[in-house]
Amino acid sequence: MKEKGNVEKPRNITKFERISPDNQRSFADILETAVARRSVLRGGVGLAAIGIFGKPLGLRAQDNGDSDENTTPLIDFEAITVERAASQTNWPLVSEDYEFDLIFPWGEPIQPDGPAFSHPPSADDQELQIGIGHDGMWFFAHPDDIPSDDDDSEDGSTGATEDVDETDPPMNRRGVLVINHEYGSNSRVIDANSPGSLEEVRASQHAHGVSILNVEKIDGKWQIVEGEKARRIHVNTPVTFSGPAADHSLLKNRDEYEPKGTLNNCANGFTPWGTYLTCEENFHQYFSETPYSEENWRYGLTYSAGDGYGWFRRDARFRLSSRNYPNEGNRFGWVVEIDPHDPEHVPVKHTALGRFRHEGAAVAVGLDDRIVVYMGDDSGDEYIYKFVSAESYKDMMEREESPLATGQLYVAKFNDDFTGEWVPLTMDNDELADRFDDEADLLVHARIAGDIVGATKMDRPEWITVAPDEYVYGTLTSNSSKTGINAANPESPNNFGHILKWKDADTHTGTTFEWEVWKLASSTQDTEEMFGNPDGLYADADGRLFIQTDGSQGEGERSICNQLLVADASTGEIHRLFTGVEDCEITGIAFTPDHKTMFINIQHPGWDNFETTLDTQEFPGIAGPNVPRDCTVVITRRDGGVVGS
Ligand code: FEO
Ligand code: CA
Ligand code: CA
């Protein structure tokens, strides 16, 4: 949600000097060095033409051959100017070289013959309709539409089967789109401040979770088509647990109450084996009457945290004083894996990845084919984590073990000399062994483990993305009331946010890394590259960074809506591609395999002026009740090129 920007940026040098081991260097010096260092390190970037999971992505280097690399600009579209963006805030804008369409709004039925949207939706209808609060998402081609490696024969033929049109392979025009639904306030979903019945609680719960849609581009328009893969996963869908805490008493309620549900599904990830990861962020705000404990307090599970939703008044699962559900709060705050192609698949919460307010889960294949998952905990002064699987994911899967069930969780320490270390959160550490009963206890309370080992407090870690050159980028969206500053989070207060990059030893699996500040958003404020509060982030295989924002973008006459920008990761040059509507957040990013179609989301459009702003009230202009609705945006280049180019 929005945080108002403050152009005055008082910097507390005293605090920095107190926490810095190197008091000889002033804060300003650290800041300058941090920013200057990027120009030194960027020489090491060598870009791969292949996607991070070895799948061809059809990007520039692959389309045109590596020899063209120096002649074709990486980013070659007319950027939206600040002036143009500021002149239109009630409807989205896209670069003149692009076009967009608004699709898949909240309330649209997930099957073509499903119940049409009405407002407020009934619980039964909402269960068959797209949820609200569109956030992270990913597009999965149907496996049968993806050419296998064997299709590339030695003689240069594609090996395409007869029904595959090589100019527009089916994998780029149909598939499964999986969309997270982060949240929806009662006033929007049930048209009341607090649910007055269990029916209203269920409607609100069904608006949360994940939508899995069969989608296809027909006559130039992306639409929902009938298919058995379509499903809704929400707060009452059965789930299961994997990993060290799966069968632990900390995740048990009374025997008959099996685990159910996922909520506050924020950003996401996807695996090389074709599954989707959805991340549970602000789960604390659904639980009330919570008994005090150090653990609950550390996770924001205060006595009245869930009063805003009010579910606890009608559904005892969300009342942590209930003797039936004492550990229900421990069942949320996880990374959840979903097979988008199997409608019977029971979502799995992976306890080995730790419990915190998960923003996203960026997956990389590391040394020896071990799976690495980078994760941020989106709260002020929280940490960045990574998980490394115990063995090669291929070996583990051959044994029918989940690569996300067994491995090591680490938390990041960013040193002020631009080195860093990943500290293992393990019971082999004496201090952790003193604090926790066992590994499960540690993982359920990963935040406390991070505190004990002295992890670096970050400025609200949002998305993380892994580039093919092994650099990892992460957004730090803002931190208005931080308890201290450090070199990796060098502004205080940090009103505009920043983006870090780092590279781990041993292809993502090592315990050391080098880092630098990729961009301070404050440095862009008076330029055409202006942005603030970076949130969504995606690195493509050509070296572009897609940056999405959630916060204040400029002030006064330069005030614009939240936006999507495309950057050259190597030079830092930024072009504005898309701007949303007032009071919305731009989030979620997905592509067809050829990267010629991009999907993004507009979350909570016009909510601040719900009653008064007619234009936004009709957003996105898709037939239905006259309420602003979260929706997906499909963006293409007018010349059919790769999006971002
Ligand atoms: Fe759900 Fe941190 O954004
Ligand atoms: Ca976010
Ligand atoms: Ca955000």
For residue range 195-206, list pLDDT tens digits in order.
999 999 999 999
Q: Is the CB of 266 under 6 A from ligand 1?
A: yes
* Tens-place pLDDT, residues 286-329: 999 999 999 999 999 999 999 999 999 999 999 999 999 999 99
Determine contact, residues 329/287, Cβ cutoff 8 Å.
yes
Instruction: Write the CA distances from 276 to 177, 210, 361, 387, integer angstroms.
Output: 10, 10, 10, 16
pLDDT-based confidence at 211, cuts 50/70/90?
Answer: very high
Is residue 138 over pLDDT 60? yes
Q: Is the dihedral of CA 475, 263, 127, 241 positive or negative?
A: positive
* Tens-place pLDDT, residues 490-510: 999 999 999 999 999 999 999
Question: What is the predicted pLDDT for the residue at 167?
Answer: 65
Beta-carbon contacts of residue 15 (< 8 Å; ≥ 6 apart):
484, 485, 492
Instruction: For residues 91 and 331, give the distance between their C-alpha atoms in angstroms, rounded to a whole number.
Output: 39
Q: Is the CB of 3 under 6 A from ligand 1?
A: no
**From ligand 1's centre to the CA of 548, what distance in Å?**
12
Question: What is the predicted pLDDT for the residue at 608?
Answer: 65
Residues above pLDDT 70, as percent of the chain: 85
**Nearest residue to 402 (alpha-carbon basis) of 466, 476, 348:** 348
Instruction: For residues 23 and 414, give the distance between their C-alpha atoms in angstroms, rounded to a whole number.
Output: 17
Tokens of 538: 């995606």
* Strand blocks (E) in 383-444: 384-392, 407-414, 419-424
**From ligand 3's centre to the CA of 1, what distance in Å?**
6
What's the predicted TM-score (pTM) here? Answer: 0.90
Q: Is the CB of 315 under 6 A from ligand 1?
A: no
Residue 102's beta-bridge partner residues? 633
Residue matched to tokens 């205060």? 302
Instruction: Write the CA distances from 441 to 187, 357, 422, 435, 456, integer angstroms.
Output: 37, 17, 20, 9, 22
Helices (H), ranges, 42-127: 60-64, 82-86, 123-126
Q: Is the CB of 462 under 6 A from ligand 1?
A: yes
Ligand 1 closest atom vs CA 359 = 2
Q: How large is the average pLDDT for residues 442-451? A: 99
**Nearest residue to 73 (alpha-carbon basis) of 558, 544, 630, 623:** 544
**From ligand 2's centre to the CA of 575, what distance in Å?**
21
Instruction: For residues 278 and 295, give the distance between their C-alpha atoms in angstroms, rounded to a whole number.
Output: 24
pLDDT-based confidence at 90, cuts 50/70/90?
Answer: confident
Distance separating the N- and C-terminal Cα atoms of the chain: 29
Q: How large is the average pLDDT for residues 44-70? A: 41
Q: How large is the average pLDDT for residues 108-131? A: 98
Q: Is the CB of 439 under 6 A from ligand 1?
A: no
Tokens of 559: 């005030």
pLDDT-based confidence at 156, cuts 50/70/90?
Answer: very low
Residue 191's beta-bridge partner residues? none
Q: Is the CB of 378 under 6 A from ligand 1?
A: yes
**From ligand 1's centre to the CA of 537, what distance in Å?**
12
Question: What is the predicted pLDDT for the residue at 168?
Answer: 77
**From ligand 3's centre to the CA of 344, what distance in Å?**
32
Name the closest-CA residue to atom 1, ligand 1: 266
Residue matched to tokens 């920095």? 16
pLDDT-based confidence at 613, cuts 50/70/90?
Answer: low
Q: Is the CB of 516 under 6 A from ligand 1?
A: no
Is residue 63 over pLDDT 80? no
Is residue 483 over pLDDT 90? no
**Nearest residue to 272 (alpha-carbon basis) of 174, 404, 181:** 404
Question: What is the predicted pLDDT for the residue at 43?
Answer: 27
Instruction: For residues 478 and 476, give the distance between their C-alpha atoms in angstroms, rounded to a whole number.
Output: 6
Tokens of 474: 């992460």
Q: Is the CB of 182 under 6 A from ligand 1?
A: yes
Is residue 58 over pLDDT 80? no
* Tens-place pLDDT, residues 550-563: 999 999 999 999 99
Instruction: For residues 645 and 633, give the distance between their C-alpha atoms in angstroms, rounded to a whole number.
Output: 18
Residue 336's beta-bridge partner residues? 278, 349
Average pLDDT of the chain? 88
**From ligand 2's centre to the CA of 462, what distance in Å?**
6
